[in-house]
A = this chain, B = another copy of it.
Amino acid sequence: MTKWIYAFGDGAAEGNAEMKELLGGKGANLAEMASLGLPVPPGFTITTEACTHFTDTDDGFPDGFEAEVKAALGRIEKALGRGFGSSETPLLVSVRSGSRASMPGMMDTVLNLGLSDSTVEALARNSGDERFAYDSYRRFIQMYGNVVLGVEHHNFEDILEDYKDDHGYGLDIELTADDWKQVVAAYLAVVEETLDQPFPQEPNDQLWGAIGAVFGSWMNSRAVAYRRIHSIPADWGTAVNVQAMVFGNMGEDCATGVCFTRNPSTGENTFFGEFLVNAQGEDVVAGIRTPQALTEAERETTGSSLPSMEVLMPDIYAELVDVRERLEHHYQDLQDMEFTVQQNKLWMLQTRTGKRTAKAALKIACDMVDEGMFDKSSAIMHVDAAQLDQLLHPTLDPEAERKLLGRGLPSSPGAATGHVVFNADDAEARVANGERVILVRVETSPEDINGMHVSEGILTTRGGMTSHAAVVARGMGIPCVSGAGDLRVDHSAKTLIATGCTVSEGDVITIDGSTGEVLEGVVATTQPELTGDFARLMEWVDEVRTMGVRANAETPKDAATARSFGAEGIGLSRTEHMFFDPDRIVHMREMILAKDVDHRRAALDKLLPYQRQDFQELFDIMEGLPVTIRLLDPPLNEFLPRTEEELREIAEAAGTDMAAVKYRRAELDESNPMLGHRGCRLGITYPEIYEMQARAIFEAAAEVAKAGRGVAPEVMIPLVIDRPEFDALKAVVDRVAAEVQVAKGIEFSYLVGTMIELPRACLMAGEIAETAEFFSFGTNDLTQTTYGFSRDDAGTFLKIYYQQGVLSSDPFMTIDRNGVGELVRIGVERGRARQPDLKMGICGEHGGDPESVRFCQEVGLNYVSCSPYRVPIAKLAAAQAAVAQTGG
């Protein structure tokens, strides 16, 4: 029989940290902490399998499940000497979601469960604090009413606001126990009115409702959106943690807080955290009150006037420092912990791997190697490759002039400039129009996820460094300044008010997530320094990885950037990108619109010197590293003139008449250019184009070779369907190479290979490998044809696919292992079967995506090629994949 429940508490647990798939991250770590003997309130975890059973079938909870829950609850009751629903010593529990991957704030939680008209009285008696008891009860009714029963928040908020207005209260703290009793009565009434049935008074009913709601929250739209952005499969499901409540809000000897074993922003090995006295945990995360520093050092740094925990609660602090040591050594990684102090007793509510900035990740990884905690391979595995992106972009130029608008917490590093927007929808709309935006909010909430994802930076005026905005922004690698309290947001007027100045929607500001500064207008930036911990880690990366990393580059600037980031060659140089220069486009168009081969050759002759020059520059910059040049690929009509004037210009350049040019223009129109006359189809039908390009490549190579410098051109034929097609074009290239070598009187070596980017090419890879000298998998086009999705058109429906969970991630971002990936695997296997040493790589977007890079390692590619800025990411991902492959 399936075991649906795993209990923990009292220095023991049925689960452990390895069981994240079954118990979720929170549940597995609660079990682990309990086993370590840390003070964990007793509880139990309902497995993710139960959730999957619940969401996949219409049967509701699985068989035997109810009995298991009852038994587990009994153990908590026994451990604490309390009774669930007891009117003497009632047990209250929290019910929280906890999935395999961290999804902060994405899913629903119910606290204080077990309270009812009868148990609240007992709680008042037990705690000796009637006000606390009724405050807890009203919180519970509101939370449960909203999360489980679906009664909207405003119903409760309206009651409370009205009550405060009627009684002249300003803050919640002014309400007495009797006030709360009346609020509770009104809350219960509004629930009954809305639902036509009373609020459930039976704790067991409450519990089952809450478990069902948490399971159900796995499929809510916020959770679905979060999963899409973070590529989390829907079928993982969430676990549910039912745990005895502890209270940080039972008086001044109570507190609640969040802490990190090291500084998650800088990576420094200093204890770092925030807490609130007399508060519930959610208060810290929600950023409603600005919290106090954990350590005295931290308090000094932030200049806070509130006392640190180190000073305020020295015993608890000492105990927490001990927990910090034990957990970090136990997990060998940065830990992010939640704790509550109830009447001077410390309770650990959660520990998990701490999110950190890229900079912190590098420092922590390097420091832990130095501290002897782990080796270089482990260090490599401790840095999130995707996150590295944060370090690879420009930061504010320290010399640049700046006008400070305000200052907040440096919550996610990096500088960002953009037009101010005040809500997520506006952010999405402006970005859709091609603008860069900074999302400005009082505080963010999970509803803002989509808007945050598209923003350049995030600015909030409330909340700490562990607030929602800060945590999410760090995860996304987006610069964030949080809790900028000297700025004020007027949502209705859509303005941001600073001292002596008002910023309106659409105005440009710059934020520096590394310093917390908010600046007017555009501020100059400088390139990142890729030294120190970064350089150290990259050295280890280069020792470990087995795949090469090249860059996609056409321009000298891109090529130079690529080399500065350590690219080991160019994996894709798209020759067509070289034709858009105004000097060239006219001849390109002349070529395309030529009425016959002679006119086409005449136009090509004009393009040849430009291309030769381009290639020579690339060869010079790459100093003998391989340079893969893809011959003309896109449908010709991408270059076609749109206006009469452009057409006239071409007719003149070609010495022909408008009618002929227009006729040819119409002739080139296609229904589906992506599947039309493009790629090497052009090479077969107009071999003179590829001939010109080959000539430009080889003449450039000859020049470089003559000057005694290294040169390694790799000519790539795009979009082949099989070997005869490839052979026909390789013959053209080889012929030109021979001609140029004879004419220039110098020999040089070169390769002729192909892009494998159609399903048929993957299937025919064995035959193609008989003559091709390298393969480069073009997974952009392969994804288009495998799915039948045009990348240009798929946006309209893919959004709905994600919303509905029909697709869990964007196959153009991360390679689809099932479909596209299998075709790549087939291509690799068949190619290698014929030519075991065939060099194979990947070019295109997937080459810079860590998960896809891992796939490339698994299938045995020799290199990946990506955009210059993503080279270090690809290198790190490649190293991680290599470590993972060797079981490191």
Q: Is A864 interfacial (CB 8 A cutoff)?
A: no
- Contacts A759-B819, A759-B823; A676 near B721 (Cβ below 8 A): no
Q: Say yes or no: B800 contacts A673, CB within 8 Å.
A: no
- Contacts A724-B805, A764-B818; A793 near B671 (Cβ below 8 A): yes
Within A763-799, the residues touching B (CB, 8 Å) are 763-764, 781, 784-790, 792-794, 796-797
Chain B residues whose C-beta falls within 8 Å of the C-beta of A671 in the assembled complex: 673-674, 790, 792-793
A833 to chain B, nearest CB (A): 15
A285–B121 CA distance with the chains assembled, in angstroms: 113
- Contacts A763-B819, A806-B728, A818-B763; A784 near B684 (Cβ below 8 A): no
Q: Say yes or no: B781 contacts A760, CB within 8 Å.
A: no
Chain B residues whose C-beta falls within 8 Å of the C-beta of A807 in the assembled complex: 724-725
Q: Say yes or no: A794 contacts B763, CB within 8 Å.
A: no
Q: Is A804 interfacial (CB 8 A cutoff)?
A: yes
Q: Is A643 interfacial (CB 8 A cutoff)?
A: no
Per-position contact with B for A345-363: 1 when CB-CB < 8 Å, else 0?
Answer: 0000000000000000000
Q: Is A670 interfacial (CB 8 A cutoff)?
A: yes
A235 to chain B, nearest CB (A): 10
Q: Is A135 interfacial (CB 8 A cutoff)?
A: no
Chain B residues whose C-beta falls within 8 Å of the C-beta of A800 in the assembled complex: 684-685
Interface centre among A676, A760, A820 (most CB of B within 10 A): A760
Chain B residues whose C-beta falls within 8 Å of the C-beta of A816 in the assembled complex: 760
Q: Is A677 interfacial (CB 8 A cutoff)?
A: yes
Q: Is A435 interfacial (CB 8 A cutoff)?
A: no
A801–B763 CA distance with the chains assembled, in angstroms: 20
Q: Say yes or no: B801 contacts A785, CB within 8 Å.
A: no
A493 to chain B, nearest CB (A): 30
- Contacts A722-B818, A759-B819, A759-B823; A676 near B790 (Cβ below 8 A): yes
Chain B residues whose C-beta falls within 8 Å of the C-beta of A801 in the assembled complex: 684, 725
A724–B801 CA distance with the chains assembled, in angstroms: 10
Chain B residues whose C-beta falls within 8 Å of the C-beta of A679 in the assembled complex: 788
Q: Say yes or no: B721 contacts A787, CB within 8 Å.
A: yes
Chain B residues whose C-beta falls within 8 Å of the C-beta of A806 in the assembled complex: 684, 724-725, 728
Interface centre among A675, A787, A818 (most CB of B within 10 A): A675
Q: Is A681 interfacial (CB 8 A cutoff)?
A: yes
Chain B residues whose C-beta falls within 8 Å of the C-beta of A759 in the assembled complex: 759, 785-786, 819, 823
Q: Is A492 interfacial (CB 8 A cutoff)?
A: no
The oligomer's copy count stands at 2
A248–B816 CA distance with the chains assembled, in angstroms: 71
A784–B788 CA distance with the chains assembled, in angstroms: 9
Q: Say yes or no: B728 contacts A804, CB within 8 Å.
A: yes
Residue among B728, B793, B805 making CB contact with A676, cutoff 8 Å: B793
Q: Which residue of B lies closest to A789 (CB)?
A: B675
A221 to chain B, nearest CB (A): 16
A470–B70 CA distance with the chains assembled, in angstroms: 90
Chain B residues whose C-beta falls within 8 Å of the C-beta of A818 in the assembled complex: 722, 760, 763-764
Give the number of residues in A that approach B within 8 Å (Cβ atoms). Answer: 49
Q: Is A197 interfacial (CB 8 A cutoff)?
A: no
Q: Is A719 interfacial (CB 8 A cutoff)?
A: yes
Q: Say yes or no: A763 contacts B823, CB within 8 Å.
A: yes
Q: Say yes or no: A675 contacts B823, CB within 8 Å.
A: no
A759–B671 CA distance with the chains assembled, in angstroms: 21
Per-position contact with B for A664-704: 1 when CB-CB < 8 Å, else 0?
Answer: 00000011111111010100110000000000000000000
Chain B residues whose C-beta falls within 8 Å of the C-beta of A784 in the assembled complex: 675
A611 to chain B, nearest CB (A): 23
Chain B residues whose C-beta falls within 8 Å of the C-beta of A721 in the assembled complex: 787-788, 819
- Contacts A675-B672, A675-B674, A819-B760; A681 near B787 (Cβ below 8 A): no
Q: Is A543 interfacial (CB 8 A cutoff)?
A: no
Q: Which residue of B lies closest to A781 (CB)?
A: B788
Chain B residues whose C-beta falls within 8 Å of the C-beta of A681 in the assembled complex: 797
Within A720-775, the residues touching B (CB, 8 Å) are 721-722, 724-725, 728, 757-760, 763-764
A53–B757 CA distance with the chains assembled, in angstroms: 32
Q: Is A605 interfacial (CB 8 A cutoff)?
A: no
- Contacts A818-B722, A823-B759; A677 near B787 (Cβ below 8 A): no
Q: Say yes or no: B758 contacts A786, CB within 8 Å.
A: yes
Q: Is A192 interfacial (CB 8 A cutoff)?
A: no
- Contacts A684-B797, A759-B759, A822-B763; A788 near B724 (Cβ below 8 A): no
Interface centre among A670, A725, A764 (most CB of B within 10 A): A670
Residue among B719, B787, B797 making CB contact with A758, cutoff 8 Å: B787
Q: Which residue of B lies closest to A800 (CB)?
A: B685
A792–B673 CA distance with the chains assembled, in angstroms: 10
A9 to chain B, nearest CB (A): 39
Chain B residues whose C-beta falls within 8 Å of the C-beta of A764 in the assembled complex: 818-819
Q: Say yes or no: B785 contacts A788, CB within 8 Å.
A: yes
Q: Say yes or no: A670 contacts B790, CB within 8 Å.
A: yes
Chain B residues whose C-beta falls within 8 Å of the C-beta of A822 in the assembled complex: 763
Q: Which residue of B lies closest to A788 (CB)?
A: B758
Chain B residues whose C-beta falls within 8 Å of the C-beta of A722 in the assembled complex: 818-819
Chain B residues whose C-beta falls within 8 Å of the C-beta of A790 in the assembled complex: 670-672, 674-676
Chain B residues whose C-beta falls within 8 Å of the C-beta of A675 in the assembled complex: 672, 674-675, 784-785, 788-790, 793-794
Q: Say yes or no: B673 contacts A793, CB within 8 Å.
A: yes
Chain B residues whose C-beta falls within 8 Å of the C-beta of A763 in the assembled complex: 786, 818-819, 822-823
Show 29 A/B contacts (Cβ-Cβ < 8 Å), sorted by A: A670-B793, A671-B673, A671-B792, A671-B793, A672-B672, A672-B675, A674-B675, A674-B790, A675-B785, A676-B790, A676-B793, A676-B794, A676-B796, A684-B800, A684-B801, A685-B796, A721-B787, A722-B818, A724-B807, A725-B801, A758-B786, A759-B759, A759-B786, A760-B786, A760-B788, A760-B816, A760-B818, A763-B819, A785-B785
* Other 14 A-B pairs with CB < 8 A, given A677-B793, A724-B807, A725-B807: A671-B790, A675-B675, A676-B793, A677-B796, A679-B788, A684-B800, A719-B788, A721-B819, A725-B801, A728-B806, A760-B788, A760-B820, A763-B786, A764-B818
